[in-house]
Amino acid sequence: MSSHSPKYGNDVLAGDWRRPRKGSVPEVPAQRGLVAESADEGFCGAIVAWDKQTVTLEDRAGRTRVFDLAPAAFLIDGAPVTLVRPSPTVSSAPLRSASGSVAVRDVRSRVAKESRIYVEGAHDADLVEKIWGHDLRVEGVVVEYLEGVDHLPDVVAEFSPAPQRRLGVLVDHLVDGSKESRIAGQVTSPHVLVVGHPYIDVWAAVKPATVGIRRWPDVPRGIPWKEGVLDALGWRMEPGEAWQRILGSVRSYADLEPELLGRVEELIDFVTAPHLDRQ
């Protein structure tokens, strides 16, 4: 008699019989609102965000957890699945950039104009690039950052604005009575436009649902805002790492608050006004 049966293979105990066979687990696109359960930890919730490597679930109590997009790591209706990033949909409509404008195909970036847009810091510049980068390259507008609003008067003086050399500035927390509003008030050139959003930091201009939270926490005075947010949310990571997580969740202008969207569009219009190209 043969020592084994071909029907069952050489060793029925070989391999991990507890895990589904490779290729037997269906792949399911991660769609916002889809309810899934972590196969390992039993945490169940609706999908509220995802990126290249992770997915964020929110349970009925509003608690959120981030999980790796590993094979067979989730259950849907009790059956194991592999969650994957959704495939981009094919549409006959004009291709749109992240800002919502019609994307211009096969066009090289223009030679940079003399006019510029300044933002406060690196995170502001990252966000503007992600949403409006295509538009700015088409227009030939460079975005730079101030490294803090305190430098604004010196930057304006050094820039030497003129009719054909306009400067647009985006400021965080530009509200009545703030330090930022007092500094912005020192700029009086008609060739400089200073606008701002009401948020203490550009992080908060990203809609909370985009990053899988109900709201941005209130941080008591005297505590650095970013560190206070990380502590309140229970994110055990450095601010730079947290920002990459936030930025990675942003897909388009729809993920940002209107108070930021309108101000950036206003700056782009200001520095690209048609008459600026006339000699």
65 and 130 in a single domain? The answer is no
69 and 168 in a single domain? The answer is no
Residue range 68-78: average pLDDT?
A: 88
Q: Is the pLDDT of residue 270 over 80?
A: yes
Residue range 256-260: average pLDDT?
A: 95
> Which pLDDT belongs to residue 5?
39
180 and 125 in a single domain? The answer is yes
Euclidean distance between the first and the last CA atom of the chain, given in angstroms as a whole number: 97
C-alpha distance from residue 216 to each of 51, 205, 249 (Å): 20, 10, 15
Is the residue at 54 inside a domain?
yes
| CATH number where 79 lies | 2.30.30
Is the residue at 141 inside a domain?
yes
Is the residue at 31 inside a domain?
yes
Beta carbons within 8 Å of 3's beta carbon, 6+ residues apart: none
CB atoms within 10 A of CB 115: 23
73 and 139 in a single domain? The answer is no
> Which pLDDT belongs to residue 105?
55
Q: State how far the Cα of 9 lies from the Cα of 15, in Å rounded to an integer.
A: 12
> Which pLDDT belongs to residue 276?
55
Name which residue leads in pLDDT, 257 or 13.
257
**Pick from 272, 253, 154: nearest CA to 205:** 253
Is the residue at 259 inside a domain?
yes
pLDDT tens for 208-237 read: 999 999 999 999 999 999 999 999 999 999
Q: Domain ends where: 36, 65, 84?
A: 84
178 and 245 in a single domain? The answer is yes
Give me the domain span that covers residue 144: 116-277
Residue range 46-66: average pLDDT?
A: 83
Q: Mean pLDDT of all residues in the chain? A: 83
pLDDT tens for 74-115 read: 998 888 999 998 876 554 555 566 766 655 555 554 545 789
> Which pLDDT belongs to residue 49?
82
Question: Would the pTM count as exceeding 0.85?
Answer: no
Q: Is the pLDDT of residue 279 over 50?
A: no
> Which pLDDT belongs to residue 206?
97
> Which pLDDT belongs to residue 138?
84
CB atoms within 10 A of CB 185: 9
pLDDT tens for 34-54 read: 889 999 888 988 888 888 788
pLDDT tens for 165-180 read: 999 999 999 999 999 9
64 and 129 in a single domain? The answer is no
Q: State how far the Cα of 201 lies from the Cα of 19, in Å rounded to an integer.
A: 45
61 and 128 in a single domain? The answer is no
140 and 267 in a single domain? The answer is yes
- What total number of domains does the chain contain? 2
Answer for the pair 213, 65: CB distance below 8 angstroms, yes or no: no
Q: Is the pLDDT of residue 160 over 80?
A: yes
pLDDT above 70 covers what percent of the chain?
A: 81
Is the residue at 173 inside a domain?
yes
Beta carbons within 8 Å of 145's beta carbon, 6+ residues apart: 118, 119, 120, 121, 122, 124, 125
> Which pLDDT belongs to residue 134?
86
Is the residue at 78 inside a domain?
yes
Is the residue at 106 inside a domain?
no
Q: Domain ends where: 37, 66, 84?
A: 84
157 and 267 in a single domain? The answer is yes
Is the residue at 93 inside a domain?
no
55 and 178 in a single domain? The answer is no
69 and 120 in a single domain? The answer is no
Q: State how far the Cα of 208 lies from the Cα of 37, in Å rounded to an integer.
A: 22
pLDDT tens for 140-158 read: 899 998 988 999 999 999 9
211 and 171 in a single domain? The answer is yes
